[in-house]
């Protein structure tokens, strides 16, 4: 069977690469981490036609605020207040001989490309060079999404029947925290097992960190800097809070260990405050991303410890104790972990290693695997073409040989499921 798939793939490489290049040429950027909206619509229209032409039953699934609110209240998952206009999932169901369903999940949205001039090629005009295809979303994660679809096409092009049902999930707003897959799980779009086609550095990933994005707003008292001693510098107060959070991170580093994942981290990624060098700033805000370990730590614990350190430090400050900082969570997602002895994990490991040497490991970046496992109770692995280092990067690219390799791996998983 593998020989048949290999022969067909060799004859169809140009066509299969063409579908990826077409998808890369469509702008599907998420705007403001999904809060301000997203451009997924045209990309989803292309995916819908492609799946329909392959014979799938199509479900179009709008992102719904009420459903996301329900998920937030039930599971601490769901990023509320996003602009969901023209944002929806496309789910394609292929019927097989046996009533067992394997899911291939991928997100259609990309991060913004930033300054176009910084790219050596137009990010929305894919270019093949040095065995790679360059373009926005090539690794994260249109390569994986398209490989899942092309795996079904490869089987059909080879004249083979699908032995099981295959569900392709092309989801929106993953970069905004996973609202597309949350919507799918809340709508009971289920299966017997799932592969998240995110780039996995040629490993089978069975764990990833949980994440929480905090925004801390700090007050001060504005004055001309010539009389600085009569004002309160909000930036300086914010810096003292940041130092306190650094102490919390050190405690976590010493306390928490995981066999597949690095220690928890706390990153201050944005700080804004002040209006002029001659003015004592009366406002400063900073944004923090916490990555925490699944199983060992929890969202409620991280939230409680983060807030406690902010407010304890504030109580020791003459101004802040009466003008407490405001702490807001604007994006979050739980951790993900599968037991390495799980039957689906062992199955994927066995089949993937018929094609290449692909070990089991954990991944540091959060993705939708947690939602399939934690909300949908679906055995899940992360396995896809590309490297994490190429995600969210200028001159994003993916190895063409690796794209083809994963088409074959996915087709073999389907035929053996």
Q: Do 326 and 341 contact (CB within 8 A), yes or no?
A: no
Give the model's pLDDT for residue 403: 98
pLDDT digits (tens, 9 = 90+) for 288-330: 999 999 999 999 999 999 999 999 999 999 999 999 999 999 9
**The two three-digit tokens of residue 380, written as one number:** 């899940």
pLDDT digits (tens, 9 = 90+) for 231-257: 999 999 999 999 999 999 999 999 999
**The two three-digit tokens of residue 213, written as one number:** 């994005």
pLDDT at 64 over 90: yes
pLDDT digits (tens, 9 = 90+) for 174-226: 999 999 999 999 999 999 999 999 999 999 999 999 999 999 999 999 999 99
Give the model's pLDDT for residue 389: 92
pLDDT at 356 over 90: no
pLDDT digits (tens, 9 = 90+) for 100-131: 999 999 999 999 999 999 999 999 999 999 99
Give the model's pLDDT for residue 2: 75
What percent of the chain has a predicted confidence (pLDDT) above 90?
Answer: 95
- What does pLDDT average to over the chain? 96
Give the model's pLDDT for residue 3: 86
Helix residue spans in 353-399 (DSSP H): 369-374
Beta-strand ranges (E) seen in 112-264 are 127-129, 132-134, 164-171, 193-196, 204-208, 210-219
Tell me how many degrees the CA angle 112-117-120 measures, rounded to the nearest 5: 95
Burial (Cβ within 10 Å: 0-12, 13-18, ≥19) of residue 25:
middle
Rounded Cα–Cα distance for residues 60 and 67 (Å) = 15
Side-chain half-sphere CA neighbours of 223 within 13 A: 11
Give the model's pLDDT for residue 282: 96
Give the model's pLDDT for residue 78: 93
User: What does each C-alpha distance from 103 to 91, 112, 164, 195, 258 come to in angstroms?
Assistant: 10, 27, 11, 6, 28
pLDDT at 355 over 90: no
C-alpha closest to that of 367 among 141, 30, 76, 114: 141
Residue 297: other Cβ atoms inside 10 A: 21
pLDDT at 65 over 90: yes
- Give me the domains of the chain, ranges plus CATH numbers: 2-208+336-416 (3.40.630.10), 210-333 (3.30.70.360)
What percent of the chain has a predicted confidence (pLDDT) above 70?
Answer: 100
Helix residue spans in 25-84 (DSSP H): 41-53, 65-75
Give the model's pLDDT for residue 346: 97
């Amino acid at each position: 069977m593998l020989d048949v798939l290999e022969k067909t793939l060799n004859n169809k490489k140009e066509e299969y690469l063409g579908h990826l290049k077409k998808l890369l040429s469509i702008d599907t950027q998420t705007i403001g981490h999904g809060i301000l909206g997203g451009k997924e619509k045209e990309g989803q229209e292309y995916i819908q036609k492609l799946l329909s032409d392959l014979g799938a039953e199509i479900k179009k699934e709008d992102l719904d605020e009420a459903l996301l609110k329900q998920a937030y209240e039930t599971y601490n998952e769901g990023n509320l207040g996003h602009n969901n206009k023209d944002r929806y999932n496309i789910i394609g169901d292929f019927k097989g001989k046996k009533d067992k369903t394997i899911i291939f999940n991928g997100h259609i949205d990309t991060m913004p490309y930033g300054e176009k001039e910084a790219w050596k090629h137009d990010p929305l005009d894919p270019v093949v060079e040095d065995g790679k295809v360059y373009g926005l979303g090539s690794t994260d994660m249109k390569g994986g999404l398209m490989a899942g679809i092309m795996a079904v096409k490869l089987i059909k092009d080879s004249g083979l029947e699908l032995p099981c049902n295959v569900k392709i999930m092309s989801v929106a707003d993953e970069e905004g925290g996973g609202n597309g897959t949350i919507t799918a799980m809340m709508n009971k779009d289920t299966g017997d097992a799932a592969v998240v086609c995110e780039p996995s550095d040629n490993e089978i990933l069975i764990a990833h960190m949980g994440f929480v994005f905090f925004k801390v707003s700090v007050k001060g008292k504005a004055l001309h800097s010539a009389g600085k001693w009569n004002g309160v510098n909000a930036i300086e107060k914010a810096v003292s809070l940041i130092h306190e959070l650094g102490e919390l991170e050190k405690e976590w580093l010493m306390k928490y260990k995981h066999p597949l994942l690095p220690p928890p981290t706390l990153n201050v990624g944005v700080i804004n405050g002040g209006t002029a060098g001659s003015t004592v700033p009366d406002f400063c805000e900073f944004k923090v991303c916490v990555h925490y370990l699944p199983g060992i730590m929890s969202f409620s614990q991280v939230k409680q410890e983060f807030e406690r350190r902010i407010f304890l430090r504030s109580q020791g400050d003459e101004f802040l104790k009466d003008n407490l900082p405001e702490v807001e969570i604007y994006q979050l997602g739980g951790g993900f972990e599968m037991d390495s002895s799980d039957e689906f994990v062992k199955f994927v490991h066995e089949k993937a290693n018929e094609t290449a040497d692909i070990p089991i490991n954990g991944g540091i970046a959060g993705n939708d695997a947690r939602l399939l496992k934690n909300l949908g109770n679906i055995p899940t692995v992360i396995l896809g073409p590309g490297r994490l280092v190429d995600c969210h990067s200028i001159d994003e690219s993916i190895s063409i040989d690796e794209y083809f390799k994963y088409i074959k791996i996915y087709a073999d998983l389907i035929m053996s499921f």
